[in-house]
Structure 1
Amino acid sequence: MGRAATKSDMITAATGNFEKLDMIISGLTEEELSTPFDFTADIKKKEAHWGRDKNLRDVLIHLYEWHQLLLNWVKSNKNGENKPFIPEPYNWKTYGNMNVEFWKKHQDTSLDDAKNMLKKSHAEVMELAETFSNEELFSKDIYKWVGGSTLGSYFVSATASHYDWAMKKLKAHKKRCSNM
């Protein structure tokens, strides 16, 4: 399926990818869980996140924190408080630094806590999505605070697309572990 463009497709994709991600996580061996992520040997993996995340907890916390961005952004703007999606002092050019701050913030968070936090935040995002109509999610210019995009595109990015990202990273880690 391509990128969701309707509420129904968005919910199906988010739910389906979350379940697939959960299955991958459930299938990780003790060795895979205890082996730090290391993608330095793969020259194709140049983006900062390949070096940032060292374990499953880091990936789950990244997803959780992006859920929080979405939840806080929608809540604030719906309550009349004009806030950008990316909080100050960051912006779309510097959000990589924000991701590093999320990483630093959660270095003492346990894997179990990260799993629970992600499950809860996923449920909250899905509940929030249900409160909007298809038109509110996927028509432009419904909410001025969304800018030139659609609200639904933010939901897709924070759920299905981000879950895809996480699954790719976990599969790459599994493959690296099996080749050790």
Structure 2
Amino acid sequence: MAKPTSKEDLLKEIDTERKKLEDFLAAIPADTMTHKKVVGEWTTKDVISHLIAWEQMVILWVKSGYEGKVFPVPAEGFKWSELPALNDKIFRDHKDEPLDVVVMQKFHDSHRQIVDLLKSLPEKDLFTPGLQKWQNKNMLIAYFKSSTSSHYLWARKEISRGLKG
């Protein structure tokens, strides 16, 4: 995937990758989603919970930044160099949530929330490096891409590989 050069480009990319992921997930039986390990200890349901958690973190960072609040990034008690530990915490925090109501409903709600937030932001803000203190010198668009379209593609590939293995 190329680097998006506009908000509209990213929204199209998000829509394309999300549709591919949802179509792919629709073909997986529920018991396979909750019992077959596809990425280390993670089942498909756990991968979905991981996607939700990262979308929600980006939403929190962006909203907090616009409200002038300082929030620990990537998460309380974690540095960027500790992402494997953070991802493990996300897994442990959500592994017992039921697939149908909790995880799948959150999956759809979270997607709608992050897309709505992206749509609400001025395009210039998305491409301004370090607009908010927590971003360092990165652009907001990079955080949106990594937690949506790039993450959806990663999930689809990893789950597919895990189901075959």
Same fold flag (TM > 0.5): yes
CA contact (8 A) 1:52 1:100 kept: no
Give the distance between the partners of 2:41 and 2:74, measured in 1 at CA: 19
| Alpha-carbon offset, residue 31 of structure 1 | 6.8
Q: How many aligned residue pairs are there?
A: 164
Aligned to 1:15: 15
- Structure 1 residue 30, shift from structure 2 partner: 5.7
Q: State the 1:9 CA deviation.
A: 1.1
Distance in 2, Cα, partners of 1:34 & 1:57:
6
- Cα 1:124/1:31, change in 2 over 3 Å: closer
Q: Tell me the alpha carbon deviations over residues 91-136 of structure 1, each in whole angstroms, 9 at most, x when there is no partner.
A: 1111211111111111220111211101100100000001112211
- 1:78 equivalent to 2:102? Answer no
The match for 1:170 is: 159
Contact kept, 8 Å, 1:18 with 1:160, in 2: the verdict is yes
2:95 paired residue among 107, 122, 129: 107
Identity of aligned pairs, percent?
A: 27
Rg larger for: 1
Name the amino acid aligned to 1:88. E
Alpha carbons of structure 1 residues 79 and 169: separation in structure 2 relative to 1, 3 Å: same
Partner-residue secondary structure (3-state), 2:95: coil
Partner Cα separation in structure 1 for residue 47 and residue 116 of structure 2:
22
> Given residue 16 of structure 1, which amino acid in structure 2 is its aligned partner?
T
> Residues 135 and 160 (structure 1 numbering): CA distance in 2 closer, same or farther, change over 3 Å?
same
Once the two structures are superposed, the pairs formed by residues 144-155 of structure 1 within 5 Å of their partners are 144-155=133-144
Task: Note the residue ranges of structure 1 that are not aligned, 5 or more in a row.
Answer: 39-49
Q: CA deviation at 1:83?
A: 2.1
Q: 2:124 aligns with which of 125, 129, 135?
A: 135
User: Does the C-alpha gap of structure 1 residues 173 and 51 become closer, same or farther in structure 2, counting only changes over 3 Å?
Assistant: closer
Partner of 1:88: 76
Q: Do the aligned residues in 1 keep the contact of 2:36 with 2:163 (CA within 8 Å)?
A: no
SS at match of 2:40: helix
1-side partners of 2:5 and 2:79: how far apart?
A: 25
Q: Greater share of helix residues, 1 or 2? A: 2
Q: TM-score, structure 2 length as denominator?
A: 0.90
Secondary structure of 2:81's counterpart equals coil
